[in-house]
Structures are given as C-alpha cells and as structure tokens.
Amino acid sequence: MIILIAYFSSEVYFNIQSTQAIAQVYKYGARGEQVKQIQTKLKKWGYYKESVDGIYGYNTYLSVKSFQESNGLKVDGMAGNTTLAAIGLPSSTQASGSPSNKNVTNNKDVDLVAKLINGEARGEPYEGQVAVGATILNRTRDARFPSTIAGVIYQPGAFTAIVDGQINAKIEESSIRAARDALNGWDPSGGAVFYFNPATSTNKWIWSRTLIKVIGKHRFCS
C-alpha cells in the first residue's frame, strides 16, 4: 500500500491506492465551503454560536471539540473522517473515475451499527436487535434525519446509548450478527424510524408516534 500525503491550505489528503478514497481533515486555519457546512451543522445543534464564515478559527475549533466530547469521539478539535460523518457530512469522496454509491457498506458501518444495537438492545429478542439496526438505516433515507449512519447515530439526543455511554459496552456476538442482517436489508421494524421502551421512556412526545409493532420491550413507530 502506498500512501501519498500532500498539504493544501491545512487540509490533508490521503490517497490510498487499495481503496481509492480521499480522506479529508479540517483543522484550525482551514477555509472554504466545507468549513461553512461544518459550522452550519454545529450551529444547528447548538455547539457553534458565531457567524458562519467558512473560517476554521478558534471558536470553530472549540465547537468541534465540544461536539466530539459529547458524542464519544476522539477530542482533538479536528474534523476528520469520523467527526465529519458524525456531524452528518460526507467524510470522503471517490477518486476520479471511481463509481460513487452512498449505499455501499463497510466494516466501519457494521461496527458502528453493532455498537449502537449492543448499547440499546442487549438482552432483547434477536429480531428486536435487528429492528433497532434497521431503524438506523431507515433514518438515513428519511429527510428529517442525517443521511449517513454515523450522522444518525451521533445526532445529539437521538439515542440513550450515546448519552449514558452504553455504546462503549462490551460487544456481544448477537449485536454484530444483527448489524449485518440489518445492513443486508432485513427490517423487522416494518419501516420504523422511532422506537422506545415504554417502561423507561420519559419522553411524552414519543407516545404520539404511530405504532407499527412491538418486539420485546420496544415499541417501533413511524
């Protein structure tokens, strides 16, 4: 594997021949449209309070650090692939001549969905675990939510497992299998984009959602 590194206005591009992917890292001093998008997303979620000017200055740096800290990411103030995806922005672009397909999954997708399933649905029936994974994927296709798996999972306040740290619990094999089944198209939730446990939920609004089905302790809703 050959890695070529070049620096362009504080943006680092890695050309990895085996994947033909171009990774981008935005950090202090960077400028441009992508920085504006980062600021816009962070502003929408309350992390960034200043004007959207496309300049990765100190306030943007602090906002990125705050977002990373709140969502269990590496806290370095730089918007690399993982942070960009969590924010809900494309983390990479295809090299020239390579086909682009945003529905293509990879091991990172499996790992992330498995961790969320593990944190949210450990001990639930296997069908219910797959349904939780399917709900994540359903959200990526719904305009009300981020379009990436990481963006959906790390959307502020979206999942209890992010807030209480259960996403980092020891992974169970069933969670990995459930993630793969969900990514391969099995949707026991019936197209749900919400689910909750009525025994533990304190959110009154969630009860207004239309019930699709009940699996184990979870109610899956549209």
CATH of the domain at 20: 1.10.101.10
Query: Of 10 and 59, which is predicted with more confidence?
Result: 59
For residue 61, pLDDT beyond 80: yes
Q: For residue 126, how many C-alpha atoms fall within 13 Å in the half-sphere facing its CB?
A: 9
For residue 16, pLDDT beyond 70: no
137 and 205 within one domain: yes
Q: What is the pLDDT of residue 93?
A: 39
72 and 14 within one domain: yes
Domain that includes residue 34, residue range:
3-94
144 and 41 within one domain: no
165 and 76 within one domain: no
Tell me if the pTM is above 0.85. no
| Mean of pLDDT values over 128-150 | 93
| Tens digit of each residue's pLDDT (9 = 90 or more) over 160-171 | 898 888 998 999
112 and 204 within one domain: yes
Give the whole-angstrom CA distance, residue 186 versus residue 135: 11
Q: How many domains does the chain have?
A: 2
| Mean of pLDDT values over 191-195 | 94
Residue 16 lies in a domain: yes
Residue 101 lies in a domain: no
202 and 112 within one domain: yes
Position 221 confidence tier, pLDDT thresholds 50, 70, 90: very high
Position 88 confidence tier, pLDDT thresholds 50, 70, 90: confident
For residue 10, pLDDT beyond 80: no
What are the structure tokens assigned to 202, written together?
């304190």
CA angle 51, 60, 9 (to 5 degrees): 105
173 and 114 within one domain: yes
> What is the chain's mean pLDDT, rounded?
81
CA 33 distance to own-chain centroid: 21
150 and 66 within one domain: no
90 and 8 within one domain: yes
For residue 204, pLDDT beyond 70: yes
For residue 143, pLDDT beyond 50: yes
Query: Of 128 and 85, which is predicted with more confidence?
Result: 128
Q: What is the pLDDT of residue 15?
A: 33
| Tens digit of each residue's pLDDT (9 = 90 or more) over 89-137 | 765 433 333 333 343 345 788 999 999 999 999 999 999 999 999 999 9
Task: Find residue 220's DSSP bridge partners.
Answer: 195, 213
